[in-house]
Structure 1
Amino acid sequence: MNTLSVKPGDIVATDFGLYEHWSIVTDKLCDQGLYMLISATKRNGTVIEEPWNVVTQGKKTIVSNVSSLNTIDEMLQKARTQIGRWKYSVTDNNCEHFVTWASGAKVTSNQLASGLTGGTVGAGLVAACSENPTALKLLGGFVLGVGIGVAASKITNKSS
């Protein structure tokens, strides 16, 4: 976070390699003087408001070009209602679902949709191009396609 300028209400994405973790910058500072982030995590199984460094784990983080339909106060209030209540699920209630929900946008996950589309295309290509499309080959094509689809769905930086 050395050169990243953030403010409450910003939506940030942390690059964890294959996927991005989405969080909302809150109006609270941790004891290190950094903004807290609120997000839904598999690590906690729910929504939690945590220090910047705990969430980002030193990984590259960008301010997204995604904006909230709600005011900052409305978004933070809505997000905080789910602390300890949101049941994390990669398919139904992941970090991107949470952030889009709290921001008032259509609840969706582009990473999930792109991953499933990529997986379907990958398996379809294996089926079309292979003389003997075994279940293992189809699964391999699906997994590769999921990875490509999720990686291709990364969000863009506001400052780009």
Structure 2
Amino acid sequence: MAGNSGKGKAEPGDLLERDDGFAKHWGVCTDKGVVHLTPENDASKSKIMTEQTVRGTVSEVGFENFANGRSVTVHKTTTPPSETIERARAKIGAHDYNLTKYNCEHFAKEAAGMCQSGQVERVERVVKNVLDYTNQEQNFSG
């Protein structure tokens, strides 16, 4: 992503990345808080790891609610803030959520004019490497 990142002061139009340990949660900073995509309920959350598409919700919440007491990294973008916020707010309401195809990181980056998930890309690389290694081991021993 173009731009700077760090734990500095968030400004409207910035992308925010909350540290949840293994995973990160992303949103778009606005003048009123943060717009973000989440799975709709706990039943949906249990289906996420199966790569099923579940019902999600795009909502605008206060910064403290989004941060949830955790560390938040600010990502600056080259997209005009008004465009990023407009794209994010246009999706407020019900929205599909899929861990690998359209998650909170996809949502936030799409609002800034790009749609990708570095988290998903890293996991896909690890899985591919494990599968390649497993196949090599089978060929070597067999």
Q: Structure 1 length as normaliser, TM-score?
A: 0.66
1:115 equivalent to 2:126? Answer no
Q: Find the partner of 1:16 among 3, 16, 20.
A: 20
Q: Find the partner of 2:113 among 99, 104, 119.
A: 104
Residue deviations 1:106-160 (CA, integer Å, cap 9, x gap) = x11111111111111123223434688xxxxxxxxxxxxxxxxxxxxxxxxxxxx
Matching residue of 1:145: none
Q: Distance in 2 between matches of 1:122 and 1:43?
A: 32
1:58 equivalent to 2:69? Answer yes
Where in structure 2 are the equivalents of 1:2-81 lying within 5 Å?
A: 4-28=8-32, 36-43=33-40, 45-64=56-75, 66-69=76-79, 71-81=80-90
Report if aligned partners of 1:68, 1:104 keep a CA contact under 8 Å in 2.
no
Residue 100 of structure 1 deviates from its aligned partner by 1.6
Q: Report how many residues are paired.
A: 121
Bigger relative contact order (CA 8 A; separation at least 6): 2
Report if aligned partners of 2:26, 2:105 keep a CA contact under 8 Å in 1.
yes
Where structure 2 has 5 or more consecutive residues not aligned to the other structure, the ranges are: 1-6, 42-55
Runs (4 or more) in structure 1 with deviation over 4 Å come to none
Where structure 1 has 5 or more consecutive residues not aligned to the other structure, the ranges are: 29-35, 133-160
Q: Distance in 2 between matches of 1:95 and 1:74?
A: 18
Q: Distance in 1 between matches of 2:39 and 2:62?
A: 16
Matching residue of 1:33: none
Report if aligned partners of 1:26, 1:76 keep a CA contact under 8 Å in 2.
yes
Q: Point out the structure with the larger strand share.
A: 2
Q: Structure 2 length as normaliser, TM-score?
A: 0.74
Q: Distance in 1 between matches of 2:38 and 2:71?
A: 17
